[in-house]
């Protein structure tokens, strides 16, 4: 389920590239959270799930992490360049998750888990940076800090979310978390990006991102957290750059370089090691 979610996340960049040129990425991030919250509201109502068992302090913290993750990612990528910003945000998240889970459980993950995670992170960074040397030149300390913050808050959201979905339905948990994130993000987008101009193209893009790349993807992701550790869930999400790589080759027609192919092999190998470690721990 996590790998399927990662595949849907991997379509985000392609979908956003088809958005109207004047649409601010801050509004894209805020509106997709709002659409996802509406999706989870309908789903929770259809399944008659209730939120009586939710730990609301944890819900509010998880929602704040989602909001900060979205906004810091867009701001960090703008300041550091797409290649370096994406590599830092996605690549740092599994490492942050491993460290946070170590503090939470007071136990280090297995050495094989760290080996697979670092192998996957290295491959993901190689794929993100490949052929984009020009995007690295404008990197700033503040931009790198924002990207690291994005990775940290994504990892924190995952670890906060795992206990929630163990005691309540995934639709209810996501409604509470993403509803909180949307309430926090929309005013910030209005301040940073100014008034929103809506068009048919805007709704098509935001609708897909909110319903499929966010709603359905996070439904799969949070449901999977009932069965795997939070740190493993974050690492398996490295399947996202693999999907983006395949789309770039198949849809856009790009020619992959040796470095990007090596990065792809490293990500897949690292994910196999992490899955093997998780299955061994479950047994």
Low-confidence ranges of the chain (pLDDT < 70): 13-14, 17, 49-52, 82-83, 130-139, 252, 254, 282
CA angle 19, 24, 28 (to 5 degrees): 65
Which one, of 135, 95, 131, lies nearest residue 237 by Cα? 95
Residue identified by tokens 């993950």 is: 109
Assign 99 to helix, strand or coil. Answer: helix
Cα separation, 216 vs 105, whole angstroms:
29
8 A C-beta contact, residue 216 and residue 238: no
Cα separation, 152 vs 89, whole angstroms:
8
- At 136 the pLDDT is 43
**Token pair belonging to 126:** 């190689």
Query: Hey, where are the domains in the chain?
Result: 2-282
Condensed to tens digits (0 to 9), the pLDDT of residues 204-237 reads 889 999 999 999 999 999 999 999 888 899 988 8
Cα separation, 23 vs 32, whole angstroms:
13
pTM of the model: 0.84
- At 83 the pLDDT is 66
8 A C-beta contact, residue 188 and residue 71: yes
Assign 1 to helix, strand or coil. Answer: coil
8 A C-beta contact, residue 215 and residue 37: no
Q: Determine if residue 107 is left, alpha or beta; phi over 0 gives left, psi from -120 to 50 gives alpha, anything else beta.
A: beta
8 A C-beta contact, residue 238 and residue 267: yes
DSSP string over 128-192 = HHTT-GGGGTT--HHHHHHHHHHHHHHHHHHHHHHHHHTTS-HHHHHHHHHHHHHHHHHHHHHHH
- At 143 the pLDDT is 82
CA terminus-to-terminus distance, the chain: 19
Residue identified by tokens 């136990």 is: 107
Condensed to tens digits (0 to 9), the pLDDT of residues 37-76 reads 999 999 998 988 665 578 899 999 999 999 999 888 877 8
**Token pair belonging to 252:** 């856009």
- At 154 the pLDDT is 94
Distance from the Cα of residue 279 to its chain's centroid: 23
Task: Give the total residue count for the chain.
Answer: 283
| Angle between the N-to-C axes of helices 56-80 and 141-165, in degrees from 0 to 180, rounded to the nearest 10 | 150
Quick one: three-class SS letters along 255-272?
CCCHHHHHHHHHHHHHHH
């Amino acid at each position: 389920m996590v790998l399927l979610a990662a595949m849907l996340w991997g379509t985000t960049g392609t979908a956003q590239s088809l958005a109207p040129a004047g649409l601010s990425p801050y509004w894209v991030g805020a509106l997709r959270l709002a659409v996802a919250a509406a999706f989870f509201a309908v789903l929770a109502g259809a399944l008659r799930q209730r939120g009586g068992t939710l730990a609301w302090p944890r819900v509010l913290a998880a929602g704040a992490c989602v909001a900060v993750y979205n906004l810091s990612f867009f701001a960090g990528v703008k300041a550091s360049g797409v290649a370096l910003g994406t590599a830092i945000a996605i690549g740092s998240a599994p490492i942050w998750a491993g460290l946070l889970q170590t503090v939470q459980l007071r136990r280090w993950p297995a050495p094989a888990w760290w080996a697979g995670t670092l192998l996957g992170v290295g491959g993901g960074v190689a794929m993100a940076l490949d052929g984009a040397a020009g995007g690295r030149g404008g990197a700033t300390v503040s931009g790198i800090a924002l990207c690291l913050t994005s990775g940290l808050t994504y990892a924190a959201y995952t670890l906060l979310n795992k206990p929630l979905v163990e005691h309540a339905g995934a639709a209810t948990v996501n409604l509470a978390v993403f509803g909180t994130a949307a309430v926090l993000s929309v005013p910030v987008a209005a301040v940073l990006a100014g008034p929103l101009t809506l068009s048919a193209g805007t709704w098509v893009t935001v609708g897909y991102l909110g319903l499929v790349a966010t709603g359905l993807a996070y439904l799969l992701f949070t449901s999977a957290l009932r069965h795997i550790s939070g740190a493993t869930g974050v690492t398996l999400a490295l399947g996202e750059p693999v999907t983006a790589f395949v789309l770039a080759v198949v849809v856009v027609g790009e020619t992959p370089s040796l470095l990007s192919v090596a990065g792809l092999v490293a990500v897949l190998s690292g994910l196999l090691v992490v899955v093997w470690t998780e299955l061994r721990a479950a047994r």
